[in-house]
Each structure stands twice: as C-alpha cells, then as structure tokens.
Structure 1
C-alpha cells in the first residue's frame, strides 16, 4: 500500500473516491504535516485523548507495524497533545505516523525525529485537564465530522489527510493511478502545445451544452476519457 501511494497524492485518492462512489472523508482544512513533504499511509490506529498520554501508550500495545495513530482531541486549540516523547514511542512501536485532530508541541524535536506528524499546528502548553475516559476510547476516533476506526486506511501528504475504508483501498489506488496516468499525459500534451481545451474538445462540449443544458462537463470528460475533475 505504501508503495502504491508513493507516486500518487491525496488529491488523486480523493478523485478516485468520487469516481468510485466511496464516501469522501477528508481531515478539516488546516491539518498538515509538521515537516513539509512528509507523507503517510497505513491502517488507522484510533485513540481519543482525555488529558493523559496513557491512552496512546495503551493503543501502542495493539499496534501493527505501519499503523498510523489517529488522535481525537476534539480539534482543541488550547492544548498540544503530542510532543517528542510520544513521537519517539510511536516510532519505537513501528508506527508509520501520527495524525492529530488538534495541536502538537516540541516542533524542533519532531523535525529531528522524522516521524510524519500531521496536526492543526503548534502550541507550547500541554494538557492540564483530565477528563473521564469513554469505554470505546480505542475503538474509534472522531476527526472533524468523520468517525475513524481500524477498518480505515489513512493517507496524508502536503494537501491534507484522507480516510478510506480498508476494503476499498485497492480499488481506490488502482483508480487513482489511472487518473494520474491520464493527467500526466494531458500535462505532457499541454507543454507540447496542445491546449487542454483542444484535448477536451471544449468547443464540442459547448455545442452539446447549448443543445442540452443538462449536459455537464463531467459527463463530457467521461465520454472522451478525459480527467480534469471528477
């Protein structure tokens, strides 16, 4: 899976989800990599944060190599819930990365550690609260409006983070690669002098749309095997 995602991107995965009718679940805008250019792909390891790191340490006891810790901190902006020690422990547990619906701290140390970490941003204070833990704290995590479980796969890069049902990942990645190949060829042709309007027979599209106002550009792209939008 990591190899399959290596040449792809979250925009391509998102387009593939739309094309296949897979629910599109993206992290809220603003969630990004601590280190630009970091990427992550792996099974979701969900955990809800209640103010103590013990929930993460417990999650690691059931982790598989390559898992991605998905932390539900409610999108809080008043505390950082991940720092250098947690990142080091995650790396020692064989995790591929950490994605946080919330904030991180110890930024220079996280950069040095090198484990991909995605969050809303940095904040110096850690948690001072300690709230009651829910029984299913390690079963699912909320990330924005989405519920994430171990039945999901996480993909992250410079454009954000996506959650895809594990049983649809193979089809999604195959479709993403098809879209990528089509778009690369279109890009090559633009550079060579053949405009996108020419490639997509845009004049023909305008003529058809005049005759049929319900004829959409997406329908047109499907008809000519183009790929600009889904």
Structure 2
C-alpha cells in the first residue's frame, strides 16, 4: 500500500474521496510528521491511551501485523506527550510501519534517529502522570479528532496531514487519485509550456455560460471538459 501511495499525496486521496462520494475523514489540522518528508500508509492498529505504555505493548503482542500503523487516541491532549523513543523503538521491532498520534510526542531527537514515521501535534517534554481506568474500546477503536477508526480502516499520511479510508474502498480511492494525479500533472506541464490554466479550462467559455445560467458552477464545467483541479 505504501508503494502504491508513493507517487500520490493525501490531497489527491482527499479529492478522490470527494469524487467517489466517500466519507472525508482527515485528522485535525496541525497533525504532521516529526521529520518533514516522512510518509506512511497501512492498516490501522488502534489504541486508546489511558496513561500507560502497556496498551501499546498489548496491541503489538495481540493485534499487530507487519505494515500496520499504530493510531493512538490520546484525546488530542496538549498537557502530556503519550509516546516517546522506547514505544517507537518497540513499534519498529513489531513491524509497525508508522505511528499517528492524536496528541503529542516527546524524545524528538531520538525519534528522528529511529526513523520510523511519527505524526503528532508536536513535541512536549512532560509524559503522562495520570492512570485512568481502561475502557473496553482500548484495542478496538481509536478516535482521531471527530472520527473513529479501527482495523477495518487504512491510514495515509504525508506532509499535508493524515487521512483515513475504509479498507474496502482503498483500492478505488487510490485508483481515482492516480487518475487525478495524471490529469493534474498534464495540466502543470501545459502551464509550464505556456498554455495557461484559464486556456486549458476554457474559462472564458465558462464565464459566458455562467452569465446565461447563474446556476452553472465551475465544478460542473470542469466535469464537462474533464478537468480535475477542484475534486
């Protein structure tokens, strides 16, 4: 899945979801890679954090498969970091492809050296000082912003953010994203060659049509001519 994602991006996948009518499930803005340029893709390995690392170890021991991405629900907390160097080293040893945290990380220099992709809101020195009662969903699902994800979801992440797609729809989303990518690359090539985007999209014709029919939208126009810049 990561190989298929290599030439794509989360914006392309988001556009593909819109085009296909799939739920658009993106992590909140601000979640990004510890190391710029890191990217990851894989099945969601969900955990909910209650203040102790044991939930990560149990997930690795009982639920993980090589290539999974550990998705940590720490309720978006900004008062503690919930993952650091030891947890990420253990994730790598378990064959995990990356870590996405709805919260904060710490041990930044060590995470950079380890090299496993880690996405979070950012760094924070204090770790958890609490130990909350563990709920029954601890290893079944993870919340990430307004979305709840589980093992039947895929996660894709790059410099633009983190996106979740139902596993059963990932192939269709990737295929549509590839189509959009090819169209946009050709549009970019033509702009560089001197043919403006306005010319390519027949923008003057669109304005004339809209003057006659105010309900005629640019997206409708793009669909009619095979453009792909907005969806």
Question: What range is the shorter-chain TM-score in?
Answer: over 0.9
Alignment of 1:16 with 2:16, yes or no, is yes
Q: Deviations over 1:101-136 (max 9, x none)?
A: 000000000000000000000000000000000012
Could you say which residue in structure 2 is the equivalent of 1:178? 179
Q: Runs of 4+ in structure 1 displaced over 2 angstroms?
A: none
Unaligned runs of at least 5 residues, structure 2: none
Report SS of the residue matched to 2:79: coil
Aligned length: 230
**How many Å separate the matches in 2 of 1:204 and 1:3?**
40
Alignment of 1:80 with 2:81, yes or no, is yes
**How many Å separate the matches in 1 of 2:88 and 2:210?**
54
Could you say which residue in structure 2 is the equivalent of 1:221? 222
Could you say which residue in structure 2 is the equivalent of 1:117? 118
TM-score (norm 1): 0.99
TM-score (norm 2): 0.99
**Shift of the alpha carbon at 1:210?**
1.0
Report SS of the residue matched to 1:223: helix
Could you say which residue in structure 2 is the equivalent of 1:46? 46
RMSD: 0.5
Residues 66-145 of structure 1 mapped to structure 2, 5 A cutoff: 66-145=67-146
**How many Å separate the matches in 2 of 1:149 and 1:214?**
41
**How many Å separate the matches in 1 of 2:105 and 2:188?**
38
Q: Deviations over 1:148-179 (max 9, x none)?
A: 11010000000000000000000000000000
Q: Deviations over 1:74-95 (max 9, x none)?
A: 0000000000000000000000
Could you say which residue in structure 1 is the equivalent of 2:33? 33
Report SS of the residue matched to 1:99: strand
Unaligned runs of at least 5 residues, structure 1: none
**Shift of the alpha carbon at 1:227?**
1.1
Residues 159-178 of structure 1 mapped to structure 2, 5 A cutoff: 159-178=160-179
Could you say which residue in structure 1 is the equivalent of 2:157? 156
Could you say which residue in structure 2 is the equivalent of 1:4? 4
Report SS of the residue matched to 2:195: coil
